[in-house]
Amino acid sequence: MNQPAFPDYRPRRMRQSPLLRRMVAETELNARQLVLPFFARPGSKVRRPIGAMPGVSQLSVDELVKDATAAHAAGVPAVLLFGIPDTKDEKASGAYARNGIVQQAVRALKRELPGLLVITDVCLCEYMSHGHCGIVHRAAGKVLNDPTLKLLARAAVSHAEAGADVVAPSDMMDGRVRAIRTALDGAGFQDTPILSYAAKYASAFYGPFREAAESAPQFGDRRSYQMNPANAEEALREVALDIAEGADMVMVKPALAYLDILHRVKTTFGYPTAAYAVSAEHAMIKAAAEKGWIDERAVTLEALLGMRRAGADIIITYAAKDVCGWLKG
Ligand code: PBG
C-alpha cells in the first residue's frame, strides 16, 4: 500500500538532507546499464564528425578501437555497432560479407578489448542502395518481408562468426527473431543472445542517425514496417511475439517520448528491457546546452533516470561515456 496512513505525514522530512534523500532514492543510474553506439566505416585514420550529433563521429576501425578503449576505461561496459559500407546494393551484400565493416570492427574490438561487450545492430538499411530495411519490390512499391528474413539471418550469423557477444535486430520485419534464432542455432551459436528492437516506432527522432548511418530511405518512409507512434497495445503484441520467437532481451525505441511503453513492457513481461535514447534525443540536449539554455549534465542524467524509473534495465545512449564520468564525479 502506498497511501500515507499517518494523518500528519510530512514527505519533506525525508528530503531535508542529502544523506536522507540518498537513503530513500528508489532508482539508480549505473554505468553497468549503459551501451554506447559506434558507427564504423572503411579506411584508416578516418574520423568524420556527424553534424547533428555533436561528439559522435563515423570512425574507421582503428579509430573506433581507440575511442572504444577510452570509453571502456571510463567505465562503459558495452558498445552497439553500426556499419557504413563503401558500396551499397539492392541485396545488402555488405551486411553479411565475411569481411564487412561491422564484422571487421567486431574482430578488432574482441581482440583488443576482450572485456568489452560487443552488440551488433542487425539491419539492412545501411547496406541497401535504396535505404530501406528490407528487400524492395519496386513495381509493387513494397518492402518484402519473408525474403528479407534470410538476409537478416545471414547478417546475424556473420556477426556471431566475427565474435559478436549479442545481436540486435532493428529491422522490424515480422518473424525475424525466429529466423535469426534458428540460423544462429544451426550455425552453432546457441549461446549468442538476441536483443530485439521489439517496439520500434516510425519516429522523426531518428533524423540525425540517418545522416550518421547514411541510411535515409530514398523513397517512401518506414511506416509499413516500423510502428505507428499512436499505438501502445500493439507494442505489447510485438514484444510478446519476439519473446515467443526467442528474444532474450527486448527494446523500446525511442525512449523519452515512449516511457509509457517502456513501463508497460517491463511490468507486463519482466524481461531484460532496453531503452534506446535515439539520435534526436541526444541532438536536442546538445543543441539547447550549446545555446546555454539547459544544463547538459543535469538534463541528461534526469532523462536517463526517467528511463530507469520507467523500467529500463539497459540504456543505449550516445552520452554513455560522459555519463560514466559524471556518475563518478
Ligand atoms: C536501423 C536503425 C535506425 C536507428 C537504429 N537502427 C534508424 C532507422 O530505423 O531509421 C536509429 C537510432 C537513432 O536515431 O539514434 N534500422
Q: Which of 36, 215, 224, 318 to mutate to test the pocket of ligand 1 (most atoms within 8 A of CB)?
A: 215
User: Is residue 4 one of the residues assigned to a domain?
Assistant: no
By CB atoms closer than 10 A (0-12, 13-18, 19+), residue 52 is middle
* Residue 328 designated active-site: no
Secondary structure (DSSP) of 52-111: TSTT-EEE-HHHHHHHHHHHHHHT--EEEEEE--S--BTT-HHHH-TT-HHHHHHHHHHH
User: Is residue 6 one of the residues assigned to a domain?
Assistant: no
Q: What is the pLDDT of residue 1?
A: 62
Interval between CA 206 and ligand 1 midpoint (Å) = 6
User: Is residue 12 one of the residues assigned to a domain?
Assistant: no
Q: Which of 209, 215, 281 to mutate to test the pocket of ligand 1 (most atoms within 8 A of CB)?
A: 209
* Cβ of residue 121 lying under 6 Å from some atom of ligand 1: yes
CB atoms within 10 A of CB 146: 12
User: Is residue 249 one of the residues assigned to a domain?
Assistant: yes
Give the CA distances from residue 325 to residues 50, 73, 287, in Å, rounded to whole numbers and listed in that order: 22, 10, 21
User: Is residue 89 one of the residues assigned to a domain?
Assistant: yes
CATH of the domain at 192: 3.20.20.70
Domain of 175, in residue numbers: 28-328
Q: What is the pLDDT of residue 7?
A: 85
* Cβ of residue 279 lying under 6 Å from some atom of ligand 1: yes
Beta strand 57-59 pairing with 47-49: antiparallel
Nearest residue by C-alpha to atom 2 in ligand 1: 170
Interval between CA 97 and ligand 1 midpoint (Å) = 21
* Cβ of residue 317 lying under 6 Å from some atom of ligand 1: no
Which one of the listed residues 88, 253, 266, 321 is annotated catalytic?
253
User: Is residue 65 one of the residues assigned to a domain?
Assistant: yes
* Residue 253 designated active-site: yes
Which residue numbers in the chain have pLDDT < 50?
Answer: none
Nearest residue by C-alpha to atom 10 in ligand 1: 206
Q: Which atom of ligand 1 is nearest to the CA of 208?
A: 14
User: Is residue 154 one of the residues assigned to a domain?
Assistant: yes
User: Is residue 7 one of the residues assigned to a domain?
Assistant: no
Number of domains observed in the structure of the chain: 1
Q: What is the pLDDT of residue 4?
A: 76
